[in-house]
């Protein structure tokens, strides 16, 4: 009975949180059109998210591409399938590794920063001070963060793809001695523009998830400093897990939509 | 101009306000005193619409504010200024940007006008020259004064002060009391001042209200409060004076 009660309360809590996240998302979209955009805030966030995350994202992309190319080479050379390494690396990077890993890192870096910043503003009454000055917090705090992440994530993912595929090429061709022209030719021949579209759509949706969960957590922080730590951790964990789960359904859905014929 | 009717509000499962009635006239200054934790800050938050009461109403200039949506409150909030107990400066913004914030929100764009107004407001709270400092670089008392400057810079019709003189040295505290009086005289600004400081209460209050167990227990002019024979009120007023006597 007790276990059942616990499971039940976890379930209702999750539903409650999910509902809160969707409400916040709706409110953010509405506020985006209702109020004028605060460009200075948006630039500041774009700078933090878009520019300052580049090192992290590029490193992720580069080493993922490199290690994947190496692993694929180890396996494929046994069957004499060296010519398939290029497209395998590039398609895997575009469809899964690029957007998923890039956005997981963004969840860690940007999601944590958003949740921590908003929750410390919340517990030090700065959010209330904002309200007291007649400013709607969603419009001032959340919209710029949301937009900045949603714009930056696809661009960063694109960069990660380019470096990942480039590093895959470098590893396969320069280190393991696969024929370069052949590798490149096959990569281009088998990588569709749809693969890139999948990468961009996925990273866009992941960015929406990260921003919505991190902002929701931050704005609902329990009082006290311990609340900030807990909120930040939960934001990153929840965003990462939701992202991975959504990724599965998104993969199935996009496959059905883009390759229906 | 502002009226609270039977406000009830629970916080964390405990009923903090149990039917508060309070009236604030044009340019009137009401001091609210009460034991620590009795719900004074909660009351100010209810007036500001930061907390929604379970029942009761807040009227501002004859308009009922309770029940308005978060965004519908905003135009009224701009006419009411609030000094938070913990200052609540925006810590990512400099003092100048903090003070300019309400003016910018109300559409002031000229950098020159903003500079002038901010300098003037800082002078009033004796913080001249701290424009470029960040809130983290200010002492507790300085933060409080900067927050006060931010709250009054757009000349609201009503000011809510949550312990404006707590944590300030007696000289600055006195100047804050004078400032509250001055704003009332010059701009007809009405105020609600929450304080534990009886000196300040006697000095600025047209009326003193004693909040006890979630209700306004006693209300009267400073003289009436001093003459009041009710043990609870007397203990509060005297308790404070005796405290000073012992430490001084
Ligand atoms: N966010 C909150 N969650 C739960 N309980 C709260 C919250 N805020 C205030 N309370 C409770 O409400 C009561 C009134 O708090 P309030 O801050 O209004 O006191 P106060 O009269 O301003 O005290 P002080 O003079 O010390 O500032 C306290 O008992 C407090 O425990
Ligand atoms: Mg208080």
Does B50 lie at the interface with A, CB-CB under 8 angstroms? Answer: yes
Q: B37 CA distance to ligand 2 centroid (A)? A: 7
Instruction: Write the residue in B48, B71, B75 that is nearest to A132 by C-beta.
Output: B48
> Is B142:B168 a contact under the CB 8 Å cutoff?
no
Provide the residue ranges of all domains of chain B, joining segments of one domain with +.
1-20+47-62, 78-155, 220-248
Number of residues written out for chain B: 248
Which pLDDT tens digit goes with each residue over B207-220? 999 999 889 998 99
Residue A1, pLDDT score: 65
Q: Whose CA is nearest to atom 31 of ligand 1?
A: B37
ipTM: 0.89
Give the residue, out of B38, B144, B212, with the most ligand 1 atoms within 8 A of its beta carbon, to mutate for a pocket test: B38
Query: What integer pLDDT is reported at residue A125 of this predicted model?
Result: 92
pTM: 0.90
Of A131, A135, A136, the CB nearest to B50: A131
| Pocket lining: B142 vs ligand 1, CB cutoff 6 Å | no
CA–CA distance, B89 with A104 (Å, rounded to integer): 33
Reading chain A (261 residues) residue by residue, the pLDDT tens digits are 688 899 999 889 889 889 999 999 999 999 999 998 999 999 999 999 988 899 999 999 999 999 999 999 999 988 888 888 999 999 999 999 999 999 999 999 999 999 999 999 999 999 999 999 999 999 999 999 999 999 999 999 999 999 999 999 999 999 998 888 888 999 999 988 899 999 999 999 999 999 999 999 999 999 888 899 999 999 999 999 999 999 999 999 999 998 876
Q: Which of A229-238, B77-86, B221-230 has the lowest mean pLDDT?
A: B221-230
User: Which tens digits make up the pLDDT trace of B95-145?
Assistant: 999 999 999 999 888 999 999 999 999 998 889 999 999 999 998 889 999
Is pLDDT larger for residue B238 or for residue A121? A121
pLDDT for residue B192: 94
In this predicted structure, the answer to whether residue B246 has a pLDDT above a threshold of 60 is no
A29 three-state secondary structure: helix
Higher-pLDDT residue of A103, B185: A103
Average pLDDT score, chain B: 89
Alpha helices per DSSP H over chain B? 40-48, 70-77, 95-105, 111-124, 140-152, 170-187, 198-204, 222-227, 231-247
Chain B neighbours among A 122-141 (CB < 8 Å)? 124-126, 128-136
> What secondary structure does DSSP assign to A186-239, as a single string?
HHHHH--HHHHHHHHHHHHHHHHHHHHHHHHHHHTPPSSHHHHHHHHHHHHHHH
Q: Which helix (H) or strand (E) holds B33?
A: strand B29-33
Note the pLDDT of residue A261.
Answer: 67
- Determine the pLDDT at residue B229: 82
Per-residue tokens: B233: 């009120």
């Amino acid at each position: 009975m007790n276990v059942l009660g616990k499971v039940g309360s976890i379930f209702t809590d999750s539903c409650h949180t999910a509902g809160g996240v969707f409400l916040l998302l709706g409110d953010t979209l509405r506020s985006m059109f209702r109020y004028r955009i605060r460009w200075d805030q948006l630039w500041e966030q774009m700078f933090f998210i878009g520019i300052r995350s580049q090192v992290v994202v590029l490193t992720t992309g580069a080493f993922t591409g490199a290690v994947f190319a190496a692993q694929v080479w180890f396996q494929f050379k046994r069957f004499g399938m060296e010519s398939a390494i290029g497209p395998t690396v590039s398609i895997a990077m575009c469809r899964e590794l690029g957007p998923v890993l890039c956005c997981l890192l963004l969840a860690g870096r940007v999601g944590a920063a958003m949740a921590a910043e908003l929750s410390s503003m919340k517990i030090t009454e700065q959010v209330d001070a904002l309200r007291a000055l007649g400013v709607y917090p969603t419009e001032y705090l959340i919209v710029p963060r949301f937009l900045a992440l949603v714009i930056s994530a696809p661009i960063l993912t694109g960069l990660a793809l380019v470096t990942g595929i480039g590093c895959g090429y470098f590893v396969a061709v320069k280190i393991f001695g696969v024929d370069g022209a052949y590798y490149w030719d096959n990569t281009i021949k088998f990588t569709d523009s749809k693969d890139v579209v999948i990468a961009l759509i996925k990273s866009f949706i992941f960015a929406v998830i990260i921003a919505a969960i991190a902002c929701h957590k931050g704005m609902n922080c329990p009082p006290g400093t311990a609340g900030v730590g807990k909120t930040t951790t939960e934001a990153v964990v929840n965003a990462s897990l939701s992202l991975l789960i959504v990724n599965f359904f998104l993969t199935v859905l996009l496959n059905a939509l883009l390759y229906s014929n | 101009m502002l009226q609270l009717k039977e406000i009830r509000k629970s916080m964390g499962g405990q009923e903090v306000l149990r039917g508060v009635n309070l009236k604030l006239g044009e340019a009137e200054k009401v001091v609210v005193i009460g034991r620590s934790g009795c719900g004074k800050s909660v009351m100010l938050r209810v007036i500001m619409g930061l907390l929604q009461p379970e029942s009761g109403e807040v009227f501002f200039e004859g308009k009922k504010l309770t029940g308005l949506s978060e965004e519908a409150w905003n135009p009224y909030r701009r006419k009411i200024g609030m000094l938070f107990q913990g200052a609540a400066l925006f810590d990512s913004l400099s003092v100048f940007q903090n003070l300019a914030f309400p003016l910018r929100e109300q559409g002031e764009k000229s950098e020159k006008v903003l500079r002038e107004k901010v300098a003037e407001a800082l002078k009033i709270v004796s913080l001249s020259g701290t424009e470029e400092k960040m809130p983290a670089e200010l002492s507790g008392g300085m933060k409080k004064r900067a927050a006060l400057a931010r709250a009054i810079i757009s000349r609201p019709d009503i000011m809510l002060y949550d312990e404006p003189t707590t944590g300030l040295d007696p000289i600055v505290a006195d100047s804050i009391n004078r400032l509250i009086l001055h704003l009332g005289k010059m701009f007809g600004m009405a105020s609600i001042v929450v304080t534990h400081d009886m000196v300040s209460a006697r000095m600025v209050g047209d009326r003193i209200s004693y909040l006890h167990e979630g209700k306004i227990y006693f209300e009267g002019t400073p003289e009436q409060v001093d003459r009041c024979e009710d043990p609870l009120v007397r203990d509060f007023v005297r308790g404070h004076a005796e405290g000073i006597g012992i430490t001084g």
